[in-house]
A and B are shown apart, each in its own frame.
Chain A
Amino acid sequence: MNSTVISFQHRHTAHCESGVAANLMTHHGVALSEAMAFGLSSALSFAYLPFIKLTGFPLVAYRMPPSFILKGIAKPLKMRFHFETFRDPGAGTRRLDELLAQGQVVGLQTSVFWLPYFPEDMRFHFNAHNLLVYGKEGDDYLISDPVIDLPQRCASADLQRSRFAKGVLAPKGLLYYPGSIGQTTVTPEAIKKAIKKTVRIMLGPIPIAGVRGMRTLAKRVAKLDTSEYSLNYVGHIVRMQEEIGTGGAGFRFLYAAFLQEAAQITGIGELAKLSERLNEIGDGWREFALKAARMIKGREAFDPVHLAGMIDSQADHETEFFKALKAAIA
């Protein structure tokens, strides 16, 4: 049997892209945690895009768009990723095999729906799922999917299908691996810069992004009627927040972990206190999710105005929080 296996340490993480970034960089000698990859690339966000529909519901995101993290860590680490896409699926598979044979651990963008090792009920058409391939045994690829606790295997036909899924964010067989790395530690300056950017994103003027996006979403939720569609609408918000690999509370806990690390590296003690505060804000998001789930289950009367009020109050807390964060690094 033909086999290539690269020695690779799988680490289970909350989110696919920050997990892939952290695990791949660690493999290349840059000790990077998931939280650091996430924070350093300023990936925390909030966006409510009513004009983009996912199975009939608006896009609600608690982070920046796909590939923001990989691109975001490149500059502070003075490195480059080689990104390659393919028109012909066969060529994409051959290139993957070639890189594995050279000993490269390779990152891939895939569609969750066509990955057989994903639990059946979690397989939706989401085209920007990241994973790492660290070998091939016979017809099976050896996969380190950071959101799955153990390493997985995937038959080559399935993986190819998943890499060449079509539609929004079509991966076009995207694969990536790092080129030369100019910097193996994270500097305090890079962290401050990344935090500033996150503050700017969260407190920006556009009504669909950052805390203002939360306000707009709250207004929409307040107007929901009591139909089945409305119940599905709030269910959809909670799914985006809790189910889709966020580490809990729409990445707020993950960013709190980053702030702790940031406090150590920069020596700014205030960041550790702010981490605590963000942890509490995260608990607020979880309370919102719990309330919504109880209403969906019919244990409580469906009350969209109440849920809207909870989102609004989260926006209040986050506004104060990001102002304090801005002050802490000024």
Chain B
Amino acid sequence: MDVNEVPQEGNRTLGSHRKALYAKDADGKMVIVPSRGSEVDETVTMQAVERMHAQAEEARSRALAGQTSPLEYWMYARRMDVALLSQVTGIWQWRIRRQFDPQRFERLAESQLSRYAEALGLTSDQLRALP
């Protein structure tokens, strides 16, 4: 890549930041060039962000319909999945899935609830409700 080929079309996922890319300058030397980002990066980042957002919104509608607990919504809202939430909390995956059941979730002991809340960066009260 040459210096003048470094993408500068802007990538909204970068916010006001820039990222450093390496490219060849006029003397043939590889140098660091700050980039405003490219459409390619933006496409794949937004794809991942939107996928997780869609999962969260889908869980929210199911929670509102009484088919799942707010825990599932918050898990996706915090960009996790069951496997990751299990690693972070040390709670078995099958138990997490069981606790998506709204009635089971209601009865959850405070100690268990606070483990989830801590891992998701929430208070127990926040975790009990949908935002």
In the complex, whether A193 has a CB less than 8 A from a CB of chain B is no
B41 partner, pick from A35, A125, A242, A257, beta carbons under 8 A: A242
In the complex, whether A249 has a CB less than 8 A from a CB of chain B is yes
Once bound together, how far apart are the Cα atoms of A286 and B34, in whole Å?
17
Shortest beta-carbon distance, A10 to chain B, in Å?
12
A119-B17, A148-B17, A275-B30 known; A55 and B84 CB under 8 Å? yes
Among B85-107, those with CB < 8 Å from A are: 87-90
B14 proximity list for chain A (CB < 8 A): 119, 122
Q: Mark A273-304, 1 if CB is under 8 A from B, else 0.
A: 00110010011001001101100110000000
- Do A119 and B13 touch (CB < 8 A)? yes
In the complex, whether B24 has a CB less than 8 A from a CB of chain A is yes
A35-B22, A166-B119, A247-B20 known; A260 and B30 CB under 8 Å? yes
- Do B40 and A293 touch (CB < 8 A)? yes
Among B67-96, those with CB < 8 Å from A are: 78-81, 83-84, 87-90
- In the complex, residue of chain B having the shortest beta-carbon distance to the beta carbon of A53: B83
A245-B19, A253-B21, A253-B30 known; A166 and B88 CB under 8 Å? yes
- Do A14 and B22 touch (CB < 8 A)? yes
- Do A242 and B40 touch (CB < 8 A)? yes
- Do B45 and A290 touch (CB < 8 A)? no
In the complex, whether A114 has a CB less than 8 A from a CB of chain B is yes
In the complex, whether A124 has a CB less than 8 A from a CB of chain B is yes
A235-B43, A282-B1 known; A14 and B48 CB under 8 Å? no
A282 proximity list for chain B (CB < 8 A): 1
Shortest beta-carbon distance, A66 to chain B, in Å?
16
Once bound together, how far apart are the Cα atoms of A148 and B17, in whole Å?
6
Once bound together, how far apart are the Cα atoms of A55 and B23, in whole Å?
32
Q: Mark A181-218, 1 if CB is under 8 A from B, else 0.
A: 00000000000000000000000000000000000000
Shortest beta-carbon distance, B9 to chain A, in Å?
12
A121 partner, pick from B13, B51, B87, B90, beta carbons under 8 A: B13
- Do A235 and B30 touch (CB < 8 A)? no
- Do B1 and A168 touch (CB < 8 A)? no
- Do B44 and A149 touch (CB < 8 A)? no
Shortest beta-carbon distance, A228 to chain B, in Å?
8
- Do A122 and B45 touch (CB < 8 A)? yes
Once bound together, how far apart are the Cα atoms of A26 and B48, in whole Å?
36
In the complex, whether A238 has a CB less than 8 A from a CB of chain B is yes
A55-B84, A236-B48, A279-B30 known; A254 and B22 CB under 8 Å? yes
B40 proximity list for chain A (CB < 8 A): 238, 242, 286, 289-290, 293
Using a CB–CB cutoff of 8 Å, the interface residues on chain B facing chain A are 1, 12-15, 17-24, 28-32, 34, 38-41, 43-49, 51-52, 78-81, 83-84, 87-90, 119, 121
Interchain residue pairs A-B with the least CB separation, the first 4: A257-B30, A119-B15, A121-B13, A253-B22
Using a CB–CB cutoff of 8 Å, the interface residues on chain A facing chain B are 12-14, 34-35, 53, 55-56, 113-114, 119-125, 147-149, 161, 165-168, 231-232, 235-236, 238-239, 242-243, 245, 247-249, 253-254, 256-257, 260, 275-276, 279, 282-283, 286, 289-290, 292-293, 296-297
